[in-house]
A and B are shown apart, each in its own frame.
Chain A
C-alpha cells in the first residue's frame, strides 16, 4: 500500500488538494471513508497529493469534519447528534455543495445524510411552499398543471 506519510510510527496520511489549491493532510483511515480516495490509494496514485478539482477548500474542510468524526467510530447517539448539527445549515448552496461532494467522493453515509436532509425540507410542504423554499419557477401551462392534478387523483392515499 502506497504511503504518503513519513516516519515509522506516524500513521499513513494522504494529501488532498482542493480546487482552490488548499492542501489538507489527512490520515488514510479518515480519507478512505471516501471510496473514490480509497480506490486511488489502493491503485497507488496518491504521490504528491490527490487533486480534487470539483471541491473547494471550504467544502472540503466540512467534508473532512464529517470523515474525522465518523472514522473515530464513536457512540451511535453521539454520531446522530453530530449528524444533526452537521446538516443544520441555513445556506442552501453549502448543502448542495456537500451533496455534490459526497457524490463525487463517494461517501455513502454523508450522501444519505445530505439527501435525506433535502427530502425532509420537502416533506409536508405544499407545492407553492416547495417552490418558494427553493426558488423554483413554475414552468407549467395551466393545462399541464390540470393534467397533473388529474393524474394525482388516479391513486389513493394509504
Chain B
C-alpha cells in the first residue's frame, strides 16, 4: 500500500462527501471518526465540516454562547442538535473579552412568576463528560456559572437553518425568546425535545406557527408554561404532529388534551404522565386521535371510562402501557380487548385492581399479542398466564416483575403454547422454581434472552434444561440466584454461545464455572461477575484468553481478584470500553494503571478515587468515574 494518494484524485467532491457521511453513520461510526476525517487534509476538512449532521453541545460554561456561534459557523449543515447543560463548554479560540461576556439575559416575554430554578450540583459520582478542561475559567465563590442563553440559541438558529431535530436539556437560561428565533429560522424542524427547561407560552406558540413540519414534541419537567402554550402550538401545527410526550409538567390539564384531540388527527404516539389528567382528557384524545398506535398513560386521575373510550375509538392501537392506574378495573381491559384487535404490546405497571380476568379478555381477543409485561400487579395469579399460554401463540417477549403469586404451573401453558418466545424476564417472582424453567425450556426452543433476578428457588436443574433445549440463547442474566452453581454454567458453556452473561450475586460460582464459560463463549461481549466472593485471578486469566470481544466487564465486590488478574484481562480483552471494580480490596493503583494503559478503547472506569494515582488521573481523565461513598 505504499505510493501515491489515489483517493483524492479519483473521487470527486460529491463521492468523497458520500463516503464521509457514511463514516459518521451506522454502527462503528460516529463523532470520533468524523473528527479524524477533518484532520486528514484540507480537502477532507472542508467536506467533513460542510456535511456534519449531528452534534451534542454543552450549555454550561461562560463561553457557551460563543461556542454555539462558532459551531453554527463551522458546521452549517447540522440537522440534529442536542444542547445539554450537564455538559461544560471547552475553551474557544482566543479569550472572550469581558465586555462580551454573556449576562443572564432577561427575556422580554417572560410571564411566569416562578422563581428561576437553581441548577442542581453535579454529583461527584457522575461520569465526567467534559473534555480535558484546559481553558475552564475559575468559578467565583457564590455565583452561578454562566450558561447558554437565548443569544447562543439564536446563533444556532441563524447558522443552521436546516435544523430538523433539537433537544434542549436542563437549559436553565433559555426562554421563549430562544424558541422564537428557532421558529423564525428553522422551518424544517421536525422534532423538539425540552427537558427540565424553563420556557414560556410564547415560545411554544411561536414554534407552532413557524414549524409546520413538526412531527414530534417531547416535554419533560418543563416549567414556565401553561395549557395555553401547548394549545396554541397544536392549533397551528397539530396536523403534522405524529408523536407527543408530556411528563412531569404540573401545568398540564384536560384542556390541553382536549385541544390535542381536536387538532391532531394524525397523532400516532402519545405518552402522558400527569396527576391532573382525568377521564375527560383521555376521552377527548380517543375521540379525536383515531390513528393512535401507541399509548402510554400514567395518570392516577383517570379510570375505566377513559379506557372504555380508547377501546371504542382507537381500533388501530398496537401498543398500550398503563402505569399506576389505581382507579381502573378489569372492565377497562375488557373494553380494550374488544376494540383493539391489533394490540401487540401490553405493559401493566402497578395496576392493583386487575385480576386474572383482564388477561383472559386480552388473550382471547388480541391474537397478535407479542410483548407482555406485568409489573407489580399483585392480584394476578397463575390463571392469568395460563390464558396467555392458551390463546397467544405469537408471544415473543414476556416480563413478570414482582408477581409473588404466580406459580410454576402457569409456565406449563406458556411452554405448550408460546413456542416462538424469545425473551423472558422474571424479577422478584419468589414462587418460581426449576420446574417453571424446565416447562419453558422444553417448549420455547427459540429463547434468546433469559433474565432472572432474585430467583431464590432457581438452580442448576433449570439451567441444564435451558442449555439442552435453547441453543439460540445469547443473553443470560442470573442476578442473586443463589442456588446456581458451576454445574449449571458447565451446561450453558457447552451448548450456548453467549454474548451477554450476568452472574451478579450467584455466590456459589467459582473459577471453574467461569473457566468453562470463558472457553465455551468466545463471542462474549458483556460480563458481570460482581459479588462473587470466591472468584479470582484464574477466572480473569481465562476470560482474558477466551473472550477477546469483551466490551463491558463488572467485577465489583470480588475480594479475591488482584492486580495480577487485571493484568491478564487487560492483555487479552483489548476491546473493553467499560469496567467497574469497586470494593475489590486486593486491587491497587497498579492494577488500575494496568487497565487504563492496556485497554485503549476504555470509555468508562468505575473505581475508588483513592486508588487512582496522579499519573493515571492525568492519563485517563474523562474516563474515570469515582464511587461516591456518601461520607
List the interface of chain A (C-beta within 8 A of B).
92-93, 96-97, 99-100, 103, 111, 115-116, 118-120, 122-127, 130-140, 144-145, 147-158
Asked whether, in the complex, the Cβ of A157 is within 8 Å of the Cβ of B32, the reply is yes
Please name all residues of chain B whose beta carbon is closer than 8 Å to the beta carbon of A118 when the two chains form the complex: 7, 19
Interface of A is mostly: helix
Please name all residues of chain B whose beta carbon is closer than 8 Å to the beta carbon of A126 when the two chains form the complex: 36
Given contacts A119-B23, A127-B39, A152-B39, 9 further A-B contacts (CB under 8 A): A122-B37, A124-B28, A131-B40, A132-B1, A135-B3, A138-B40, A151-B38, A154-B92, A156-B129
Q: Which residues B182-208 have CB closer than 8 A to chain A?
A: none
Asked whether, in the complex, the Cβ of A130 is within 8 Å of the Cβ of B37, the reply is yes
Contact with A along B328-364 (1 / 0, CB 8 A): 0000000000000000000000000000000000000
**Which among B29, B58, B91 is the interface contact of A150 at CB below 8 angstroms?**
B91
Contact with A along B221-260 (1 / 0, CB 8 A): 0000000000000000000000000000000000000000
> What is the chain B residue whose CB lies nearest that of A125?
B36
- 30 pairs from A and B in contact (CB 8 Å cutoff): A92-B1, A92-B6, A93-B6, A96-B6, A96-B11, A99-B15, A111-B18, A116-B22, A122-B33, A123-B29, A127-B36, A127-B39, A130-B36, A131-B40, A131-B41, A138-B40, A138-B41, A139-B41, A139-B42, A140-B39, A148-B39, A148-B45, A151-B70, A153-B90, A154-B55, A156-B57, A156-B58, A156-B84, A156-B87, A158-B56
Q: How far is the CB of B165 from chain A (nearest CB, A)?
A: 13
Q: A96-B10, A148-B39, A148-B45 are in contact. Are A135 and B29 (CB under 8 A)?
A: no
Q: How far is the CB of B555 from chain A (nearest CB, A)?
A: 25
Asked whether, in the complex, the Cβ of B15 is within 8 Å of the Cβ of A115, the reply is yes
Contact with A along B1-16 (1 / 0, CB 8 A): 1111111101100010
Question: How far is A93 from B37 in the complex, measured between Cα atoms in Å?
Answer: 20
Asked whether, in the complex, the Cβ of B31 is within 8 Å of the Cβ of A147, the reply is no
Please name all residues of chain A whose beta carbon is closer than 8 Å to the beta carbon of B18 when the two chains form the complex: 111, 115
In this assembly, does B93 line the interface, its C-beta being within 8 Å of a C-beta of chain A?
Answer: yes
Asked whether, in the complex, the Cβ of B41 is within 8 Å of the Cβ of A115, the reply is no
Question: How far is A158 from B56 in the complex, measured between Cα atoms in Å?
Answer: 7
In this assembly, does B137 line the interface, its C-beta being within 8 Å of a C-beta of chain A?
Answer: no
Question: How far is A142 from B208 in the complex, measured between Cα atoms in Å?
Answer: 47
Asked whether, in the complex, the Cβ of A154 is within 8 Å of the Cβ of B71, the reply is yes
> What is the chain B residue whose CB lies nearest that of A146?
B93
Asked whether, in the complex, the Cβ of A152 is within 8 Å of the Cβ of B71, the reply is no
Asked whether, in the complex, the Cβ of A134 is within 8 Å of the Cβ of B6, the reply is yes
Question: How far is A124 from B6 in the complex, measured between Cα atoms in Å?
Answer: 21
Please name all residues of chain A whose beta carbon is closer than 8 Å to the beta carbon of B2 when the two chains form the complex: 135
In this assembly, does B89 line the interface, its C-beta being within 8 Å of a C-beta of chain A?
Answer: yes
Please name all residues of chain B whose beta carbon is closer than 8 Å to the beta carbon of A151 when the two chains form the complex: 38, 49, 70, 74
Asked whether, in the complex, the Cβ of A140 is within 8 Å of the Cβ of B93, the reply is no
Please name all residues of chain A whose beta carbon is closer than 8 Å to the beta carbon of B41 when the two chains form the complex: 131, 136-140
Asked whether, in the complex, the Cβ of A119 is within 8 Å of the Cβ of B29, the reply is yes
Asked whether, in the complex, the Cβ of A150 is within 8 Å of the Cβ of B36, the reply is no
Asked whether, in the complex, the Cβ of B90 is within 8 Å of the Cβ of A124, the reply is no
Which 8 A-B pairs give the minimum distances between C-beta atoms? A119-B22, A96-B10, A155-B55, A152-B35, A127-B39, A153-B90, A156-B56, A134-B7
Q: How far is the CB of A54 from chain B (nearest CB, A)?
A: 12
Asked whether, in the complex, the Cβ of B23 is within 8 Å of the Cβ of A92, the reply is no
Asked whether, in the complex, the Cβ of B23 is within 8 Å of the Cβ of A123, the reply is yes
In this assembly, does B153 line the interface, its C-beta being within 8 Å of a C-beta of chain A?
Answer: no
> What is the chain B residue whose CB lies nearest that of A118?
B19
Q: Which residues B24-70 have CB closer than 8 A to chain A?
A: 28-33, 35-42, 44-45, 49, 55-58, 67, 70
Q: How far is the CB of A38 from chain B (nearest CB, A)?
A: 21
Please name all residues of chain A whose beta carbon is closer than 8 Å to the beta carbon of B67 when the two chains form the complex: 154
Q: How far is the CB of A36 from chain B (nearest CB, A)?
A: 16
Question: How far is A99 from B7 in the complex, measured between Cα atoms in Å?
Answer: 11
Asked whether, in the complex, the Cβ of B57 is within 8 Å of the Cβ of A130, the reply is no
Asked whether, in the complex, the Cβ of A122 is within 8 Å of the Cβ of B5, the reply is no
Asked whether, in the complex, the Cβ of B93 is within 8 Å of the Cβ of A150, the reply is yes
Question: How far is A59 from B166 in the complex, measured between Cα atoms in Å?
Answer: 45
Asked whether, in the complex, the Cβ of B42 is within 8 Å of the Cβ of A154, the reply is no
Please name all residues of chain B whose beta carbon is closer than 8 Å to the beta carbon of A111 when the two chains form the complex: 18
Question: How far is A155 from B35 in the complex, measured between Cα atoms in Å?
Answer: 10
Q: A140-B41, A157-B56 are in contact. Are A122 and B23 (CB under 8 A)?
A: yes
> What is the chain B residue whose CB lies nearest that of A133?
B1
Please name all residues of chain A whose beta carbon is closer than 8 Å to the beta carbon of B90 when the two chains form the complex: 150, 153-154
Question: How far is A127 from B37 in the complex, measured between Cα atoms in Å?
Answer: 7
Q: A156-B57, A157-B30 are in contact. Are A135 and B35 (CB under 8 A)?
A: no
Asked whether, in the complex, the Cβ of B40 is within 8 Å of the Cβ of A127, the reply is yes
Question: How far is A139 from B8 in the complex, measured between Cα atoms in Å?
Answer: 13
Question: How far is A118 from B92 in the complex, measured between Cα atoms in Å?
Answer: 33
Question: How far is A92 from B55 in the complex, measured between Cα atoms in Å?
Answer: 32
Question: How far is A134 from B74 in the complex, measured between Cα atoms in Å?
Answer: 26
> What is the chain A residue whose CB lies nearest that of B39?
A127
Question: How far is A132 from B90 in the complex, measured between Cα atoms in Å?
Answer: 30
Q: How far is the CB of B574 from chain A (nearest CB, A)?
A: 13
Please name all residues of chain B whose beta carbon is closer than 8 Å to the beta carbon of A155 when the two chains form the complex: 31, 55-57, 71
Q: How far is the CB of B212 from chain A (nearest CB, A)?
A: 29
Q: How far is the CB of A111 from chain B (nearest CB, A)?
A: 8
**Which among A99, A157, A158 is the interface contact of B11 at CB below 8 angstroms?**
A99
